[in-house]
Structure formats: structure tokens, C-alpha cells
């Protein structure tokens, strides 16, 4: 919508706005996109920190000069930051921030008998001063964040006594209020500081509540249920405001479902305030259409859920069941809200996958394919995956059926793989002998190993030989090299979750060896050579 | 000819600025923000429910499938497990083809199909005890996901592919016991792989990237961003590595990085791609700063004057970056104005 129309629609005077914008066109010029601002801010921030560090290092040993320099930088920066614009303002403000740090160092060194909690409170006060006097938004963000983190540090060092609980609820409440009344507060005299403070409070809220997961006595909640209850009430209030602002009927199925979802989250996360905080940040982010806030909340929520999951130590099968059920419920809820599983129809060029690409002329010539094109394009790679898996299975089955059996002695260990489940690491007893040969450069690494098979079918390493076996009781096995370790087959054996103790007695790997020396592990055997 | 300032698009930032200048009051600001849909209305909540519930729902179902197969349930035979994993993957792909990629549900099913390649490969690995080399699993998964990323062309598909590639490389480096020296080699390979995949992505998706509203428009940029983020640990290694061990590799790596960044930056500025200019520019600052820090740290020159020189140097970098961004923005706006028929 055009600015003139908007101003007129809300009862303002477009001509006054136009005049002011004409006279101060520079300050009303189009702001840079967020990524441009961020790119400039990050580099300037680092530069200012180092320059501030340089000034401080000049007067490191003289406390009076340190105080004078700190106060001087703070005052000069505060005045100049208000009379300048853009990058210059940002830079001056950051140098001023370094001045404040200098004052803080001076105070900490001069005031004797200052405990950790008092130092943290002093730091919080310095941050508040920076927030009030320095007029650059990044500094105000940093100062607001620093204030909360310093208060959190003070609470941890003051025997806690429920301060952490109060801080989590207090910061969440302030963040919620800042976002709910953001527009009205923005029109006030300190309006420029509202959004940086709101972002900082949201981030601090997630940060502080994240530490409730850590096994740290100082950060432990004294009243977890009360804290969760307070956050739940806050979440419900924000949801009610959201429903009111979007003019939704409180009896509509979408609103009822949203509240059911909120109560579900509250019930499941009653002992984990961090999860409620993350959900609150997501809802606030959507309410004010702030994607950064939404991403922050979603990242926090995912992280907290993973953290919680590892603390619970639930079996993989139960987790899988719970996840699939929860996923199905969410998709069903979506279908209920949108009135169908498929959701909104949004056309895009993705409908014709190769349009505009190097393949489009070929596809244009193949007109009969066009109707089928979209489906075919997706089904081809899917079919390739299935065909590949089938091919690999057939090849392994062939080796298992036709390969020569051999048992190799081992000494197992038992970790768990990321994604693949529980397994024992297989370390072949004869590997050390081969590694010695290779490390001493006695043979080439490209040689195959030759094993002699005894009457029980157990293979014993004999030599590394480019020509392979020379008699019937010998067998060639290709070496598998991994960093400095050598093995003769699979280096692990996967088993069902929770069956680790059963496989502890494994002493031999049961292999099938193909004619080219490759192996397939078909099972493990105990010390009596019985299949396990 | 400059346009009348009041004829500009009303943005939330502009309205807030007017409120701070006392040209409108708080109540009017609330109404104005509501008028331009800067606050969530019913359609915004609907879109939110659509994307979030679908995204998390699909993610949970796929994660549940991965956890189920990771449990290696011995009540099911190996044939049944491989068959089931392959069937789920195929069903997701068929569902995506049936629903169509123009619908969110179709795109979610297609992304699900790409993700479900993992369980199909891992059940095969479990059943035939192919070993726990996680990098092989992720590398195979990444390669087989490429056609899905190209066909689906959504940002999510590109992000999945990019993450899979990086996990595979990291596991490879970890399992082969690479030290700081070897990691630098991996970093060089990653840098060139990133540059090549970025160019390929831009070529394949040139129509998408021209349309910012398109689902896949941010795909290549996302790929680039992940590349820059993943370069950070290798840069840290570059600084901390023993000078005598890593001198040659870090020199080659940083030289390659300079060339790649300079070419990327010139291309991005020339074509008025501001987002890319910002990402590549930041990455260039990171690389140059790393080189400087490495020289200063190993020469033990990070004292007072050293700090000043480093700070001043970074500010010069920031100025150059700001200039590149301004130039890029000007070109981007000029191009936009030309397409709208307005003289900037």
C-alpha cells in the first residue's frame, strides 16, 4: 500500500508527512535490507572491539587514566552518537561501549571485597547505563542482553533461592509485553530502543531457560511447576491476544484446535519451562510477523526437544512410535484447520521442474511427455534408489550363497551409531600383524592378505602376497584400510536395540569370502564356535 | 527524477520512523501496521499453520521412520526391513508425484522421499553388516538426493542436500583420522565443491532465482550460506594449526579462498545480487581476517599496536564491504526500476 493512502486512512496528514520527508529525505531514505545491515554491523563490531581494546591496553597499568578514558569515551560517544547517522553512529556507539567496559574494570578493581554476585550486579548496572545513553540499536540490543545475562549470573552466585525462576518468568513476561505493545511503545520518546530490547529479551529468555536442562546446581529451578505454570498462563494470554487481533471467533475450530495444542504442549512440557519459552517466542514471532524471532524460537524448540530426549533415555522403538504418532496428529490438525489434507494451491514454476533450465529445449521437443513430465521426474530417482538397494542385496546374497566360509578371531567393543543403531566394533586379532608389516614398509599396501584355514574353519593370517593363495587350505582376503587401522571385513556388527550383553561373548566373525577376496559378515560365534 | 516521498510503499520501518518523528501517534501506528498487514491476521496464521504443522509433522514422521529402522527390531526379518524402508521411500515419491509439486503437501512428500533414502540405505547396511562407516551412508544418501533437489527445487531440498554433503565430509575426515593438516585439504576441496555446486545451482535455477516469490529462489543462496558457515571451523583450524605443519596447506587454502571470493564478489556486485554480495563479502572478511590473525598470532604481535592495526584493518574491510554492498544495491534498484519503467 502507498504511504499517502495509509496516512490518510489512519487520520494523519499526508501533506505534513510529505513536507517532513522532503526536508529530511536522507533520514527517510530506504533502509538497507537486514542482511546488508548485518554484514556491515558484524565487521564494524569486530573492528570497534579491537580498537577499544587498543585504547584500553594503552592505559592498562594506570587506573586513573583508565577511568578518565572510560568516562571520556562514554560521554563523547553518547553525545556524538546522537548527532550522527548510519555507519558513523554505529561505530562511535561501539567505541563508547568499550569505554563503559573500561569504567566497569576500574570499578571492579577499586571496590574491595566485591563478591561474584555483586560484580555481576555492577555489570548489569553498567549495561543499563549503556542502554540509556548510547543511541545505536545494536548497542542497545547488546546492552539489554548483557543486563539479563549479568542478572542471571548474579542470581546463580547468590545461592539462587528461586531467583532463576523469577528471572525466567520475568524476562519472558517483559519480552511478551514488549512485543504485544511494540507499536504503541515505538511512538514514545524511547521508541527506537523498543525493538532492540524486545529482540534481546526474547533471546535472553531462551538462553536463561536453556540452562535449566544443564546439570548445574546453581542454575536449577526451585519451583519448576510454578515457573512452568506462570509461563503457561503467559502463553495462553498471548494466544488470546493473537485470536482477538486476527478477529477470529473464539469458537471457531481453528482457535479451539490451537488452544488444544497449547494445552497439549503445556501438559507435556510441564517440567521443562525452556520448551514453553520457545513456543512463546514462536507465537510472538508470528504475531508480529518477525521471521528472525520465529527462527530463533523454532531453533530453540528443536534443540530443547533433542536435549530432553537424550535425558529421558527412552528406547528407539518407543521414540519412533511416539514421533510417527505426533507427526500424524499434526498433519491431521493441519487438515482440520485448512479444510483438507492438500492445503492451499500455490502455483509456481516448480510445477514444471526443468522449465527455464538447460533441459527445457529437449523437453519442449518431447511434447507428449509434458503431461507425464512432473510425475516421471520424481519417480525416476525414486525407482533408481529402490533398484540400487535391490541390486546391492542381490550381490551380497550371491556372496553369502557362493562364498567360502571362514572364521576370524576378534575382540569386540560396543558403541551406538548415529542413526544406524547399536553395534559392536569388530577388531580382528590378526590386524595388528598386518599393520606392523605395513607401518614398517616391508610390503606394499596394495597386496592382499592370505590366510591359512585350520580344521575348524578358523583363518590364521599367513602373509601379504600379490599372487594370492598357493594351496587349497589358503584363502585370499582383501584388506580394508581405515586411517592407520587395517581389517579383513566389516568393522562392525549391528544388532537389535538393548541386546548388547548377548553379543559380549562373541569371539569369532563368521565371513563368506568371494572369489575376488571381498567378504560379507554373516554372523558372530562364541568361543565354542557356536552360532550366536 | 526522484519520486514524491509519500508515494512510496508503506513499510513497517517507515511507519515506525514517522511515529518516532511524532508525525503519527501510537494509536495511528497500530492501525497503520494493521492496514499494511504487518501484524498477523487470519491468513497469516493460516499460512503459519499450513507450513509449520506440515513441516514439523513430516519431519517427525521421517525421524520416526529413521528411529524405527535404527532400532534394528529383530522380530522383522532383514528382507522385510529393507522392503519396508524401500516401500516407504517409494510411497512418499509416488504421493509427491500424485499431489503435485505446486502444493505444499506435494513438496513435503517429495522432501520426505529424499530424506527416506537414508533408512533404505541404513537397513541394507544393518542387514548385510557392511560396517558402520557413517560417511559412506551419508555420501550415498547425498548423491541419491541430488535428483530430488533438482526436481523439487525448494529451499528445504537444497538445505537437506547441503547438510548431507557436509555431514559426509566431516565423518570422512573424522574416520580417516585427519589432523589439522588433513582438514585443511578437506577445506580446500569443500571450497571448490561449494563454488561448483553454487554455479550449477544458479544455472539450473536461473528462472527461479529471478523470481523472489518462487519456492526455490533462495535455494542456491542457502547453499552458499551453509558453505560459508561450515568454512568457519576450518578457518579456526587454520589459525590454531602449528605453523610448520600447516603452512603450505593453509597458504594454498587461503590463496584459493581469495580467488574464489574475489570472483564471486565481482560477479555478485556486477549482477546486483545484494544478498549474495553480503554473504560472499562477509565470508571474504572472515578469510582475510583469519589470515591476518594467523600472521599476528604466530608472530606474537597481538599486543597494543597489533590490536590497533587489526582493528583498523577490519574497519577498512568493513568500508570496502559497505561500498560493494552499496554498489550492488544501486545496480539491483536500477534493474528493478528499469523493469518497472521508472527512472531512478
Residues 5-24 of B with CB under 8 A from A: 5-10, 13-24
B302 SS3 class:
coil
Q: Is B229 on the interface with A (CB under 8 A)?
A: no
DSSP state of A252: S
pLDDT tens, A457-467?
888 888 777 77
Find the closest chain A residue to B38 by CA distance: A289
pLDDT confidence of residue A441: 66
Sorted by sequence, the CB contacts under 8 Å of residue A93 that are 6+ apart come out as A77, A81, A134, A135, A136, A138, A139
Residues in chain A: 532
Give φ, ψ of A324 to 5 degrees: -65, -40
Q: Is B1 on the interface with A (CB under 8 A)?
A: no
Question: Is the pLDDT at B236 greater than 70, yes or no?
Answer: no
DSSP state of A458: B
Cross-chain Cβ contact A350/B154 below 8 Å: yes
Asked if A96 contacts A81 with a C-beta cutoff of 8 angstroms, the reply is yes
Cross-chain Cβ contact A286/B216 below 8 Å: no
Each residue's pLDDT expressed in tens, for chain A with a length of 532 residues? 788 888 888 887 888 877 877 776 666 666 666 666 666 666 666 666 666 667 666 666 677 777 777 778 778 777 777 777 666 676 677 767 767 776 776 777 666 667 778 888 888 888 888 888 877 787 888 889 989 998 998 888 877 678 888 999 999 999 999 999 999 998 888 888 899 999 999 999 999 988 887 777 777 888 888 998 999 999 999 999 998 888 888 778 778 888 888 888 888 777 788 889 999 999 999 999 888 899 899 888 888 888 877 777 778 888 888 889 988 988 888 888 877 655 554 444 444 444 444 445 554 554 444 444 555 677 888 888 888 888 888 888 888 888 888 777 776 555 556 566 777 777 787 877 777 777 776 666 667 788 888 888 888 888 777 776 777 788 888 887 766 677 777 777 887 777 777 777 778 888 888 888 888 888 888 877 878 7
Counting residues of chain B whose pLDDT is more than 90, the rounded percentage is 3
Compare CB distances from A374 to B97, B104, B132 and report the shortest one's residue: B97
**Mean pLDDT of all residues in chain B?**
74
**Cα-Cα-Cα-Cα dihedral of A456, A461, A467, A471, to 10°?**
-30
User: Measured between alpha carbons, how far is B227 from B198 in angstroms, rounded to an integer?
Assistant: 9
Q: Is A190 on the interface with B (CB under 8 A)?
A: no
- What is the C-alpha radius of gyration for chain B, rounded to an integer number of angstroms? 25
pLDDT confidence of residue B42: 83
Sorted by sequence, the CB contacts under 8 Å of residue A289 that are 6+ apart come out as B37, B38, B39, B40, B44
Residue B242 pLDDT level (bands cut at 50, 70, 90): low
Least confident of A115-119, A132-136, B152-156, B192-196: B192-196
Compare CB distances from B29 to A187, A382, A483 and report the shortest one's residue: A187
The more confident residue out of B327 and A27 is B327
**Cα-Cα-Cα-Cα dihedral of A51, A53, A56, A60, to 10°?**
-140
- What is the C-alpha radius of gyration for chain A, rounded to an integer number of angstroms? 34
Q: Which three cell numbers stand for residue B179?
A: 589432523
Q: Is A246 on the interface with B (CB under 8 A)?
A: yes
Angle between helices B155-175 and B104-115 (to 10 degrees): 10
Q: Is A418 on the interface with B (CB under 8 A)?
A: yes
pLDDT confidence of residue B343: 46
Q: Is A478 on the interface with B (CB under 8 A)?
A: no
User: Measured between alpha carbons, how far is A20 from B5 in angstroms, rounded to an integer?
Assistant: 9
User: Measured between alpha carbons, how far is A131 from A122 in angstroms, rounded to an integer?
Assistant: 14
DSSP state of A410: B
A462 SS3 class:
strand
Q: Is B243 on the interface with A (CB under 8 A)?
A: no
Residues 272-311 of B with CB under 8 A from A: 274-275, 278-279, 281-282, 285, 289, 303-305, 307-308, 310-311
CA separation, residue A305 to residues A61, A274, A285, A300 (Å): 48, 9, 19, 8
ipTM: 0.71
Q: Is B80 on the interface with A (CB under 8 A)?
A: no
Sorted by sequence, the CB contacts under 8 Å of residue A457 that are 6+ apart come out as A405, A406, A407, A529
pLDDT confidence of residue B190: 64
Asked if B282 contacts A43 with a C-beta cutoff of 8 angstroms, the reply is yes
The distance of B38 to chain A (nearest Cα, Å) reads 6
User: Measured between alpha carbons, how far is B114 from B142 in angstroms, rounded to an integer?
Assistant: 9
User: Measured between alpha carbons, how far is A437 from A20 in angstroms, rounded to an integer?
Assistant: 85
Cross-chain Cβ contact A353/B101 below 8 Å: yes
Residues 81-100 of B with CB under 8 A from A: 82, 86, 89-90, 92-94, 96-100
Question: Is the pLDDT at B45 greater than 80, yes or no?
Answer: yes
Compare CB distances from B315 to A27, A47, A246 and report the shortest one's residue: A47
Residues 148-167 of B with CB under 8 A from A: 148, 150-154
User: Measured between alpha carbons, how far is A256 from A243 in angstroms, rounded to an integer?
Assistant: 10
Going by DSSP bridges, is the β-strand pair A448-453/A492-494 parallel, antiparallel, or unpaired? unpaired
Q: Which three cell numbers stand for residue B10?
A: 508503506
Q: Which three cell numbers stand for residue B276?
A: 549474495
Cross-chain Cβ contact A496/B74 below 8 Å: yes
Residues of A in contact with B224 (CB under 8 A): none
Q: Which three cell numbers stand for residue B332?
A: 539491483
Q: Which three cell numbers stand for residue A340?
A: 483438507
pTM for the full predicted model: 0.72
pLDDT tens, B49-62?
888 888 888 888 98
User: Measured between alpha carbons, how far is A500 from B336 in angstroms, rounded to an integer?
Assistant: 64
Cross-chain Cβ contact B325/A385 below 8 Å: no
DSSP state of A233: H
User: Measured between alpha carbons, how far is A411 from A428 in angstroms, rounded to an integer?
Assistant: 7
Cross-chain Cβ contact B153/A380 below 8 Å: no
Q: Is B35 on the interface with A (CB under 8 A)?
A: yes
Amino acid at each position: 500500500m502507498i504511504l499517502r493512502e495509509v496516512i490518510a486512512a489512519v487520520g494523519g496528514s499526508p501533506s505534513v508527512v510529505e513536507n517532513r520527508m522532503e526536508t529530511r529525505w536522507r533520514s527517510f531514505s530506504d533502509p538497507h535490507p537486514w542482511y546488508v545491515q548485518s554484514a556491515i554491523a558484524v565487521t564494524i563490531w569486530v573492528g570497534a572491539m579491537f580498537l577499544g581494546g587498543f585504547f584500553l591496553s594503552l592505559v592498562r597499568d594506570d587506573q586513573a587514566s583508565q577511568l578518565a578514558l572510560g568516562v571520556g569515551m562514554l560521554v563523547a560517544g553518547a553525545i556524538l552518537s546522537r548527532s550522527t547517522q548510519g555507519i558513523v553512529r554505529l561505530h562511535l556507539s561501539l567505541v563508547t561501549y568499550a569505554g563503559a567496559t573500561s569504567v566497569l574494570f576500574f570499578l571492579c578493581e577499586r571496590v574491595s571485597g566485591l563478591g561474584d554476585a555483586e560484580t555481576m550486579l555492577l555489570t548489569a548496572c553498567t549495561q543499563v547505563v549503556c542502554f540509556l545513553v548510547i543511541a545505536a540499536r545494536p548497542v542497545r540490543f547488546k546492552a539489554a542482553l548483557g543486563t539479563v545475562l549479568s542478572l542471571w549470573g548474579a542470581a546463580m552466585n547468590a545461592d539462587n533461592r528461586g531467583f532463576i525462576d523469577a528471572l525466567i518468568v520475568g524476562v519472558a513476561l517483559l519480552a511478551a509485553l514488549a512485543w504485544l505493545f511494540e507499536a504503541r511503545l515505538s511512538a514514545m520518546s524511547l521508541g527506537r530502543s523498543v525493538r532492540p530490547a524486545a529482540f534481546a529479551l526474547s533471546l535472553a529468555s531462551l538462553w536463561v531457560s536453556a540452562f535449566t536442562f544443564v546439570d548445574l546446581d546453581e542454575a536449577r529451578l526451585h519451583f519448576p511447576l510454578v515457573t512452568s505454570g506462570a509461563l503457561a498462563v503467559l502463553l495462553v494470554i498471548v494466544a488470546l491476544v493473537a485470536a482477538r487481533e486476527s478477529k477470529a471467533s473464539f469458537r471457531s475450530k481453528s482457535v479451539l484446535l490451537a488452544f488444544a495444542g497449547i494445552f497439549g504442549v503445556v501438559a507435556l512440557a510441564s517440567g521443562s519451562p525452556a520448551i514453553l519459552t520457545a513456543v512463546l517466542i514462536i507465537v510472538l514471532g508470528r504475531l508480529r510477523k518477525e521471521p528472525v524471532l520465529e527462527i530463533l524460537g523454532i531453533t530453540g524448540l528443536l534443540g530443547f526437544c533433542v536435549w530432553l530426549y537424550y535425558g529421558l533415555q527412552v528406547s528407539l522403538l518407543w521414540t519412533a512410535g511416539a514421533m510417527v504418532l505426533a507427526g500424524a496428529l499434526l498433519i491431521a490438525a493441519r487438515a482440520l484447520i485448512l479444510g483438507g489434507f492438500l492445503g492451499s494451491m500455490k502455483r509456481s514454476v516448480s510445477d514444471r521442474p526443468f522449465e527455464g533450465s538447460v533441459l527445457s529445449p529437449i523437453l519442449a521437443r518431447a511434447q507428449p511427455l509434458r503431461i507425464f513430465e512432473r510425475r516421471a521426474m520424481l519417480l525416476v530417482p525414486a525407482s533408481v534408489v529402490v533398484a540400487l538397494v535391490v541390486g546391492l542385496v542381490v550381490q551380497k546374497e550371491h556372496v553369502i550363497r557362493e562364498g567360502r566360509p571362514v572364521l576370524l578371531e576378534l575382540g569386540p567393543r560396543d558403541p551406538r551409531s548415529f542413526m544406524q543403531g547399536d553395534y559392536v566394533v569388530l577388531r580382528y586379532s590378526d590386524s595388528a600383524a598386518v599393520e606392523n608389516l605395513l607401518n614398517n614398509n616391508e610390503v606394499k599396501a596394495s597386496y592382499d592378505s592370505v590366510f591359512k584355514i585350520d580344521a575348524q574353519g578358523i583363518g590364521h593370517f599367513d602373509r601379504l602376497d600379490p599372487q594370492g593363495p598357493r594351496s587349497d587350505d589358503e584363502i585370499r582376503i582383501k584388506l580394508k584400510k581405515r586411517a592407520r587401522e587395517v581389517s579383513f571385513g566389516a568393522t562392525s556388527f549391528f544388532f537389535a536395540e538393548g541386546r548388547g550383553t548377548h553379543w559380549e561373548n562373541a569371539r569369532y566373525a563368521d565371513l563368506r569370502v568371494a572369489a575376488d577376496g571381498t567378504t560379507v559378515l554373516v554372523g558372530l560365534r562364541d568361543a565354542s564356535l557356536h552360532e550366536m | 527524477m526522484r519520486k514524491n516521498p509519500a508515494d512510496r510503499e508503506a513499510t513497517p520501518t517507515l511507519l515506525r520512523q514517522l511515529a518516532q518523528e511524532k508525525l503519527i501517534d501510537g494509536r495511528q501506528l497500530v492501525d497503520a501496521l494493521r492496514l499494511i498487514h504487518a501484524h498477523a491476521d487470519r491468513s497469516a496464521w493460516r499460512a503459519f499453520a499450513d507450513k509449520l504443522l506440515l513441516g514439523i509433522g513430516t519431519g517427525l514422521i521421517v525421524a520416526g521412520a529413521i528411529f524405527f529402522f535404527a532400532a534394528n527390531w529383530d522380530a522383522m526379518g532383514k528382507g522385510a526391513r529393507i522392503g519396508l524402508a524401500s516401500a516407504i521411500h517409494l510411497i512418499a515419491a509416488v504421493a509427491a508425484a500424485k499431489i503435485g509439486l505446486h502444493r505444499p503437501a506435494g513438496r513435503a512428500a517429495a522432501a520426505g522421499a529424499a530424506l527416506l533414502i537414508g533408512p533404505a540405505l541404513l537397513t541394507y547396511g544393518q542387514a548385510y553388516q557392511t560396517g558402520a562407516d557413517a560417511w559412506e551412508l551419508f555420501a550415498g544418501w547425498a548423491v541419491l538426493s541430488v535428483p530430488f533437489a533438482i526436481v523439487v527445487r525448494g529451499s528445504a531440498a537444497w538445505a537437506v542436500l547441503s547438510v548431507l554433503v557436509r555431514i559426509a565430509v566431516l565423518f570422512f575426515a573424522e574416520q580417516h583420522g585427519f589432523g589439522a593438516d588433513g582438514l585443511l585439504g578437506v577445506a580446500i576441496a569443500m571450497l571448490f565443491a561449494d563454488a561448483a555446486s553454487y554455479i550449477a545451482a544458479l544455472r539450473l535455477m536461473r528462472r527461479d532465482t529471478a523470481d523472489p516469490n518462487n519456492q526455490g529462489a533462495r535455494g542456491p543462496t542457502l547453499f552458499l550460506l551453509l558453505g560459508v558457515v561450515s568454512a568457519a571451523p576450518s578457518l579456526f583450524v587454520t589459525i590454531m594449526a602449528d605453523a610448520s605443519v600447516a603452512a603450505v596447506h593453509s597458504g594454498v587454502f587461503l590463496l584459493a579462498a581469495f580467488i574464489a571470493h574475489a570472483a564471486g564478489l565481482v560477479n555478485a556486485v556486477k549482477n546486483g545480487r545484494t544478498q549474495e554480495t553480503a554473504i560472499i563479502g562477509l565470508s571474504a572478511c572472515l578469510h582475510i581476517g583469519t589470515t591476518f590473525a594467523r600472521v599476528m598470532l604466530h608472530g606474537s604481535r597481538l599486543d597494543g599496536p597489533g590490536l590497533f592495526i587489526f582493528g583498523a584493518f577490519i574497519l577498512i574491510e568493513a568500508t570496502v564491504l559497505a561500498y560493494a554492498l552499496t554498489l550492488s544495491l544501486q545496480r539491483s534498484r536500477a534493474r528493478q526500476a528499469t523493469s518497472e519503467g521508472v527512472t531512478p
